[in-house]
Amino acid sequence: MFFSIYIIILVAIIVGYMIFTNRKVIGFLRQLEDERKTVRELAVLNDIASLINKDLDEKSIIETIVDKSKELIKSEISALLLIEKGKVTGFYTSIGEASQCKTEPVGIISRVIKEGIPIRSNNIRELEGFKGFLENQPVDIKSILIVPVLLR
At residue 76, does pLDDT exceed 70?
A: yes
pLDDT tens digits, 83-93: 777 777 777 87
Q: What is the pLDDT of residue 101?
A: 58
Q: What is the pLDDT of residue 75?
A: 82
Average pLDDT, rounded, for the chain: 76
Q: What is the pLDDT of residue 77?
A: 81
Cα dist from 11 to 2, 18, 19, 24, 61, whole Å: 14, 10, 12, 20, 63
Q: What is the pLDDT of residue 111?
A: 80
Region 59-77 average pLDDT: 82
Query: Residue 42 — pLDDT band, cuts 50, 70, 90?
Result: confident
Q: What is the pLDDT of residue 138?
A: 59
Q: Is 1 helix (H, G, I), strand (E, B) or coil?
A: coil
At residue 152, does pLDDT exceed 70?
A: no
Q: Are 26 and 42 in contact (CB under 8 A)?
A: no
Phi, psi (rounded to 5 degrees) for 72: -60, -45
